[in-house]
Amino acid sequence: ERKQIRRDMAIYRPQRHPLPLVSQMLVSDIDNTLLGDRAALRRFLATLRATPSNLGFGIATGRTLESTLKILKEWGVPLPDVLITAVGSEINYGLELRPDIRWQNLIKYSWRRDAVEEALREVPGLILQSPENQREFKLSYNVDPEALPPISKIRALLREQKLSANLIYSRQAYLDILPLRASKGRAIRYLAYKWGLPLRAFLVAGDSGNDHEMLIGDTLGVVVANHSPELASLRGDEQIYFANARYADGITEGMAHYAFGISTL
């Protein structure tokens, strides 16, 4: 099935330079940022097509690779040059969807998934997500916000047991537990380092909690108008632009704000 998806996607894909030659990268979250409004998406894709070919396009999402490919296809989005999936714990490149094994080796440091799961078993308000959302480097729960203790308490509980992890709370609905070194933001910083690009060559766009940490880095940030409340505290940060437009129109507005993709000098 994956092969078929790849073949289908190839049709949409604009001709762009191979990754080492990109000099700017646009990285967007999927749900409620890139996707959510079809007309806005069409306008965004038209803008993207008009950018120079040395501007790369990537997504950073909480979804798995399979579910990412499926939803992008459903919405008619060309296959991105880079796919950062499972909240930054996996990176795949190009038409071949080549996995970055080095990234996996970097983040596996002090990750004890089973022990973390065990330690959280008694925490009220945490409901394990379905098996297809569980990954080697991502342990995900649905959350009952009424019953859930403060996230700081959950962090403390893991610390007491000498378990290191990165806790990411989104939309008062999801809690993702990742290795300490994994997140969307860290994956982006890794790419910048790998390609020798400054962080300001990256424009990142998002709407919710799992985007928080990638937005506060030294990249150019864009928050779409339909963002969830947990991003409101970022307002006022000069490297984070709050768009007036919703969904993909917000990304397009952010690109114009930074004059991103207009000149790639």
Contacts with ligand GLC by CB under 6 A lie at 62-63, 87, 129, 133, 140, 170, 174, 176, 210
Residue 45 — φ and ψ, nearest 5°?
-65, -35
Q: Amino acid identity of 57?
A: F
Quickly tell me which residue has 């798995």 as its tokens: 64
We find the least distance from the C-beta atom of residue 10 to Mg ion, in angstroms, to be 26
Interface with Mg ion, residue 136, by CB under 5 A: no
Of 183, 208, 219, 252, the one binding Mg ion by CB under 5 A: 208
How many CA atoms, within 13 angstroms, populate the side-chain half-sphere of residue 243?
Answer: 27
Going 77 to 81 to 85 to 88, the CA torsion angle's sign is negative
In the complex with ligand GLC, the residue whose CB is nearer, 24 or 133, is 133
Q: Which residue, 114, 123, 111, 97, is CA-closest to 13?
A: 97
We find the least distance from the C-beta atom of residue 179 to Mg ion, in angstroms, to be 21
Instruction: Look at residue 92 and give the partner it binds from Mg ion, ligand GLC, none, a contact being a CB closer than 5 to 8 Å depending on partner kind.
Output: none
We find the least distance from the C-beta atom of residue 216 to ligand GLC, in angstroms, to be 17
We find the least distance from the C-beta atom of residue 234 to ligand GLC, in angstroms, to be 17
Q: How many residues bind Mg ion (CB under 5 A)?
A: 5
H-only helix segments in 25-141? 38-49, 65-74, 101-107, 113-119
We find the least distance from the C-beta atom of residue 223 to Mg ion, in angstroms, to be 11
In the complex with ligand GLC, the residue whose CB is nearer, 172 or 239, is 172
Q: Which residue, 26, 30, 28, 33, is CA-closest to 249?
A: 33
Instruction: Look at residue 176 and give the partner it binds from ligand GLC, Mg ion, none, a contact being a CB closer than 5 to 8 Å depending on partner kind.
Output: ligand GLC
Instruction: Look at residue 188 and give the partner it binds from Mg ion, ligand GLC, none, a contact being a CB closer than 5 to 8 Å depending on partner kind.
Output: none
Q: Which residues contact 170 (CB under 8 A, 6 or more apart)?
A: 62, 176, 208, 209, 210, 228, 230
Closest residue to ligand GLC, judged by C-beta, is 62
Instruction: Look at residue 87 and give the partner it binds from Mg ion, ligand GLC, none, a contact being a CB closer than 5 to 8 Å depending on partner kind.
Output: ligand GLC
We find the least distance from the C-beta atom of residue 206 to Mg ion, in angstroms, to be 6
What CA–CA distance (Å, rounded) separates 62 from 183? 10
Q: Which residue, 203, 205, 185, is CA-closest to 246?
A: 205
Of 24, 32, 85, 252, the one binding Mg ion by CB under 5 A: 32
In the complex with Mg ion, the residue whose CB is nearer, 192 or 223, is 223
Angle between helices 2-12 and 65-74 (to 10 degrees): 40
Binding site for Mg ion (CB under 5 A): 29, 31-32, 207-208
